[in-house]
Amino acid sequence: MTVHRPPTDPTLPGPRMGRAGLVIAQVLVVALFAVLGARLWYLQVPMADHYRDLAVANHHQRLVVPATRGQILDAAGRPLVSNRTELVVSADYHEIMGMKDGGEKVLTDLSETLDVPVEELRQRMRLCGPEVERPCWPGSPYQPVTLAEDIDPAIALQIMESSDDYPGITAQAHAVREYPNGAEAGQILGYLQPVTQEELEAREELRTQFTGIDQVGRDGLEAIYDSELRGTAGERTFGVNNHGEVMDVIADRPPRAGMHIITHLDTRVQKIAEEALASGMKAARPRYKADSGAAIVLDVRTGGIVAMASLPTYDPAIWQGGIDQETFDELLSAEAGEPLLSRAVQGQYPPGSTFKVSSLSAAVENGYSLRSTYACPGSVNLAGQNYANYAGGGHGTISLHKAIVVSCNTVFYNFGYQLWVKDGGLEPEGEPKEAMSEMARGYGFGAPTGIDLPYETGGRIPDREWKRTFWEETRENNCRRGEEGYPEVAKTNPSHASYLKRLAYEQCVEGFQWRAGEAVNFSIGQGDVLVSPLQLVRAYSAIANGGTLYEPRVARALVSADGEVVQEIEPVVAGKVPVKDETIRYLQDALEEVTKSGTGRGAFADFPQDKVSIAGKTGSADAQNRQVSSWFVSYAPADDPQFAVVVFVSQGGTGGTTSAPIARKIYDGIYGFGEGDAAEPALPDGRPRAELPTVRPDGSIDPLDR
């Protein structure tokens, strides 16, 4: 644009300076606005993706919708663990702790509303640690900390509606586990606890669908089948504004409820077993301590666990919410008998005479004839030491059949000793056969059975190799003690101290030797042999079913929430007992006789053996500084075996007087031979359930025993 300019005096400083300044100003404007443009480009082109991610994080709120945890049902569809909804009040740990007064005000307000001492709320806000007494928060600080459970709906509503008065506090509905049978089978069912930080880090599937109020199974079936029971959490993505108000639903993935577990357990048989064990233990007192016990009913054809009792027990419901320190300490204490521990699966004890079926098999497989007779004197002298029968009496020359029926120790002592000598005794040449130990392992002892429960013990089957390993591990200490003695013991009891010193010296010098005495004791399930009740009942069920060892299973099928059978858990064969069929049949005959004329006859005196014949074996196991422990292991019916039953009472007396009557009560209940309630068979036709209970598509359950 051409502009006509009137003549001006260019020497005047005003216009001249002004024009120059204006050009500079124009340049300045362009430069500054170019900076803005460049910055805009930087933010919107190279950095756009970065800011888009931030924007999404801004206004997309993910809400994880927890899936309903599956129920645990018995074989007839009756609930062992079910769900119930309750209202809980929880707090955001970081928000409360980040407050200027450490949440003092809001907790005080809340304590008035809930009518709970503020001190308790403060304690429950603490994170559990080695130095922290319960109640404390065992979960992750990123989860809402539960401050009160099972609260009144009116109070929950008050808290939800006046959320400004309770910053960081929420009230929400929360599914909690319910245990309709109380303490029965407590250890098998297990319990739930909030996810810990470690678990969250270690388990991918927990992290991706973490709801903030998640719990994981910590023991029993809840732990083993945690991922099946848990289901898949849903996720709803909301678009929210700056106040967090929901504007629209961007995506919605509904949760998939967890699967129900149908177990082999039968609540009636379980109840019978629990009650029989408890009353049997009570009857053994006060003569015996009878401090703990276990009873298992196993399906011999599948390895399914029909009942499994362990006493003392506890009600898993005590884990709900925050467990307080007193209850927690009691759960773990020795005085309370450590009720968390399942004696059936985790306990290991010397098996005593019940072990003789293994020793007999070992002898027969190594050349001792089933048709021969063997001497059963009151005592035998082997390698310079005297070994007596249990009651001290002898039975003359007897068959192996009778050796089992009357439980003659001396016959087996001889087997143990002779097989030990065959192997070369103290100084074996070449590879020893270890016939006794090998046979024990063949019966499934010395290794975990593979049951679907956690923390199973493997027991212990000693042999020369085990002895050497043990010696190597303890030698240093023994040798030192052999040199230095026991000065601290010598102060009070010099003779005992010198005995201990001699013992330590012996152990140091020749402790690696598998000595005759150990082999002799082994043959009757004493010494270093340890088995769990579960291992023992499985071994006997193998005898019952012709030699097949199953991996025991508690769970029988997984059923989806809408009733579809997702998976039937098939029996798993763990192995075959390495014994000829003839020997198995021989053992079956002998065991059947035990309850008629042998050591078990007292308990089964008036049992209708003509209807259901019981085969079994008693055991009375000794251990140092302990009273004799009582075993009875059996199966029935002897002619068509269905169930194997083991009963163990720690420090409970002999097998025939304490455990056999308990087992009998269990059989009475199963077959309906008892009085009152026990007059009706707990299991129809005295057989494990053949069909599965029906879960209807709407989720309700149709039990088999309407």
Partner 1 sequence: MTVHSPRARGIDLGRTAVTAAGAARRLDWVLLLAVIALCAIGSLLVWSATQPGDGGNPLDATEHLRKHLIHLVVGWAVCLTVASVDYRSLRAYAPIVYVVTLVALILVLTPLGAVINGSRGWIVVGGFQFQPSELAKVGLILVLATLLGEPRDGEVRPMTRDVLFCLLALALPLALVMLQPDLGTTLVLGVIFLGMLTLSGAPVFWVVGMLLVGVAAGFCVWWFDMLEPYQLDRIATLVDPSADPQGAGYNANQALIAVGSGGFDGTGLFHGEQTHGRFVPEQHTDFIFTVAGEELGFVGAGLVIGLFTVILWRILRIARGCDQPYPRLLCVGVASWFGFQTFINIGMGLGIVPVTGLPLPFVSYGGTALLANLLALGLVLGVNSRDRGFE
* Phi and psi, residue 232, nearest 5°: -115, 125
| Least Cβ distance, residue 8 to partner 1 (angstroms) | 5
Closest to 545 in 3D by CA, of 609, 474, 638 = 638
Nearer to partner 1 (CB atom), residue 94 or residue 502: 94
Answer for the pair 118, 124: CB distance below 8 angstroms, yes or no.
no
Nearer to partner 1 (CB atom), residue 60 or residue 696: 60
Binding residues with partner 1: total (CB under 8 A)? 46
CB atoms within 10 A of CB 530: 22
Nearer to partner 1 (CB atom), residue 17 or residue 251: 17
- Encoded one letter per residue, x for contact with partner 1 by CB under 8 A and - for no contact, window 630-649 reads --------------------
* Member of 55, 157, 249, 251 binding partner 1 (CB under 8 A): 55
Q: Is 32 exposed, middle or buried (0-12, 13-18, 19+ CB in 10 A)?
A: exposed
Per rule CB under 8 A, is residue 98 in the interface with partner 1?
A: no
The H or E element containing residue 357 is: helix 356-365
Nearer to partner 1 (CB atom), residue 238 or residue 631: 238
Answer for the pair 299, 306: CB distance below 8 angstroms, yes or no.
yes
Residues 58-87 that bind partner 1 (CB under 8 A): 58-59
Per rule CB under 8 A, is residue 566 in the interface with partner 1?
A: no
Per rule CB under 8 A, is residue 12 in the interface with partner 1?
A: yes
Burial code of 553-573, b = ≥16 C-beta within 10 A, e = fewer?
bbbbbbbbbebeeeeebebee
Nearer to partner 1 (CB atom), residue 243 or residue 491: 243
Residues in the chain: 706
Nearer to partner 1 (CB atom), residue 22 or residue 509: 22
* Member of 10, 40, 105, 373 binding partner 1 (CB under 8 A): 40
Per rule CB under 8 A, is residue 4 in the interface with partner 1?
A: yes
Per rule CB under 8 A, is residue 3 in the interface with partner 1?
A: yes
Per rule CB under 8 A, is residue 573 in the interface with partner 1?
A: no
DSSP letter at 434?
-
* Phi and psi, residue 200, nearest 5°: -65, -40
| Least Cβ distance, residue 117 to partner 1 (angstroms) | 33
| Least Cβ distance, residue 160 to partner 1 (angstroms) | 23
Residues 575-594 that bind partner 1 (CB under 8 A): none
| Least Cβ distance, residue 241 to partner 1 (angstroms) | 4
Stretch that binds partner 1, among 18-26, 80-88, 255-263, 570-578 (CB under 8 A): 18-26
The three-point CA angle 596-674-290 to 5° equals 75
Stretch that binds partner 1, among 42-50, 348-356, 363-371, 489-497 (CB under 8 A): 42-50
The H or E element containing residue 260 is: strand 260-263
Tokens 């201990």 sit on residue: 500
Residues 215-254 that bind partner 1 (CB under 8 A): 239-243, 247-248
What does each C-alpha distance from 532 to 295, 414, 577, 578 come to in angstroms? Answer: 11, 26, 18, 20
Per rule CB under 8 A, is residue 371 in the interface with partner 1?
A: no
Tokens 């007999």 sit on residue: 360
| Least Cβ distance, residue 27 to partner 1 (angstroms) | 10
The two beta strands, 72-73 and 260-263, are parallel
Stretch that binds partner 1, among 6-14, 220-228, 467-475, 591-599 (CB under 8 A): 6-14
| Least Cβ distance, residue 252 to partner 1 (angstroms) | 16
Supply the DSSP string of 271-300, one letter for each residue.
HHHHHHHHHHHHHHTTTS---EEEEEEEET
CA-CA-CA-CA dihedral for 589, 591, 596, 601, to nearest 10? 170
Nearer to partner 1 (CB atom), residue 98 or residue 684: 98
Per rule CB under 8 A, is residue 94 in the interface with partner 1?
A: no
Supply the DSSP string of 539-567, one letter for each residue.
HHHHHHHTSEEEEPBSEEEEE-TTS-EEE
Per rule CB under 8 A, is residue 706 in the interface with partner 1?
A: no
| Least Cβ distance, residue 167 to partner 1 (angstroms) | 14
| Least Cβ distance, residue 22 to partner 1 (angstroms) | 5
Per rule CB under 8 A, is residue 44 in the interface with partner 1?
A: yes
Closest to 694 in 3D by CA, of 683, 682, 705 = 705
Per rule CB under 8 A, is residue 286 in the interface with partner 1?
A: no
CA-CA-CA-CA dihedral for 338, 341, 343, 348, to nearest 10? -100
Assign residue 103 a region (left: φ > 0; alpha: ψ between -120 and 50; beta: otherwise).
left
Distance of CA 681 to the CA centre of its chain: 30
- Encoded one letter per residue, x for contact with partner 1 by CB under 8 A and - for no contact, window 172-211 reads ----------------------------------------
Nearer to partner 1 (CB atom), residue 16 or residue 502: 16
Per rule CB under 8 A, is residue 14 in the interface with partner 1?
A: yes
Nearer to partner 1 (CB atom), residue 22 or residue 573: 22
Nearer to partner 1 (CB atom), residue 35 or residue 509: 35
Nearer to partner 1 (CB atom), residue 30 or residue 202: 30
Tokens 């080695």 sit on residue: 130
Per rule CB under 8 A, is residue 571 in the interface with partner 1?
A: no
Which two three-digit tokens encode residue 452?
Answer: 């679907």
Binding site for partner 1 (CB under 8 A): 3-6, 8, 12-15, 17-19, 21-23, 25-26, 29-30, 32-33, 35-37, 39-41, 43-45, 47-48, 50-52, 54-55, 58-59, 239-243, 247-248
